[in-house]
């Protein structure tokens, strides 16, 4: 437990010691809110689909969570490159505990980032259906963050190139984001796209956040959380196996 706590605390310190990184990470969500939320708001409303900002906010919160979560794998490559990981692994603690602490720390920081984006959306005019839903959405965001933090760590164990990791991350994460229904309703797309969306793990995280914050969703909350937690468990096992075999 001590190793898990130390790695978790280290990830949090990294996050709070870089206010410039926190502020900069709000730039992309703000751009989406302005360019899409206000730019397409009237078009969305004219189509009879309601307030686009209310539809968009849960998706942008999910976007912020997954990008911050997956990017935590970059920290692993950084530590591996500059020797800190080797110092950590020589300690008389389990590699699994170290790995779990990193995943837990990455998921905590990305959930905090998602909460900041949610507060930003509220400042821009988004109103949750119920204010207690904000608390529940933070919990759902944590489960989504855990899934993608485990994925980011798994990806980080397979790579050594710090320049290549962001390219691979964008190649994987951006299609997930745009297929998840974060920026458009899935009930109005072609059948083929809907099938692809149902194969996208992020779809269920976005749907859970939208259900809790706005009361609208494509699937039941039980389905959303079950898929997210099941995939989190699978990816955590893959990350643990890969981390245990990783050559420093």
The confidence score (pLDDT) of residue 238 equals: 92
- What is the rounded average pLDDT for all residues in the chain? 84
CA distance 75 to 106: 9
Domain spans of the chain, in order of start: 2-245
In tens digits, what is the pLDDT along the chain, a chain of 248 residues?
666 766 767 767 766 666 767 777 788 888 888 888 777 767 776 666 677 888 889 999 999 999 888 887 888 888 777 767 776 767 667 788 888 888 888 899 899 999 999 999 999 888 898 888 899 999 999 999 999 999 998 988 888 777 778 888 888 888 999 899 888 888 878 888 889 999 999 999 999 999 999 988 889 999 999 999 999 999 999 988 888 887 76
- Answer left, alpha or beta for residue 238, where phi above 0 means left and psi between -120 and 50 means alpha: alpha
| 100 conformational bin, left if phi > 0, alpha if psi -120 to 50, beta if neither | alpha
Direct distance between the N- and C-terminal alpha carbons of the chain, in angstroms, rounded to an integer = 23
Residue 59: predicted pLDDT? 92
Q: Which residues contact 203 (CB under 8 A, 6 or more apart)?
A: 179, 180, 181, 186, 197, 218
pTM of the full structure: 0.89
Q: What is the chain's Cα-based Rg?
A: 18
160-166 contact pairs (CB < 8 A, 24+): 160/77, 160/80, 160/81, 161/77, 162/74, 162/77, 162/78, 162/81, 165/73, 165/74, 165/77, 166/71, 166/74
């Amino acid at each position: 437990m001590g190793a898990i706590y130390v790695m978790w605390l280290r990830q949090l310190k990294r996050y709070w010691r870089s206010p410039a990184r926190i502020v900069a990470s709000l730039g992309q969500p703000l751009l989406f809110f302005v360019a899409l939320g206000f730019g397409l708001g009237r078009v969305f409303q004219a189509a009879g689909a309601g307030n686009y900002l209310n539809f968009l906010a849960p998706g942008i919160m999910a976007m912020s969570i997954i990008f911050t979560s997956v990017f935590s794998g970059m920290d692993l490559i950084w530590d591996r490159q500059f020797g800190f990981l080797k110092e950590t692994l020589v300690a008389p603690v389990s590699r699994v505990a170290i790995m779990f602490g990193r995943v837990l720390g990455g998921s905590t920081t990305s959930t905090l980032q998602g909460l900041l984006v949610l507060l930003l959306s509220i400042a821009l005019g988004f109103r949750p259906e119920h204010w207690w839903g904000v608390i529940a959405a933070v919990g759902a965001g944590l489960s989504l963050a855990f899934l993608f933090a485990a994925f980011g760590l798994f990806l980080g164990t397979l790579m050594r190139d710090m320049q290549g990791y962001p390219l691979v991350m964008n190649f994987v994460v951006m299609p997930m984001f745009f297929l998840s229904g974060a920026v458009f309703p899935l009930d109005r797309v072609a059948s083929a796209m809907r099938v692809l969306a149902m194969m996208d793990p992020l779809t269920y995280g976005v749907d859970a956040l939208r259900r809790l914050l706005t009361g609208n969703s494509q699937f039941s909350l039980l389905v959303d959380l079950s898929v997210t937690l099941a995939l989190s468990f699978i990816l955590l096992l893959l990350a643990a196996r890969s981390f245990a075999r990783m050559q420093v």
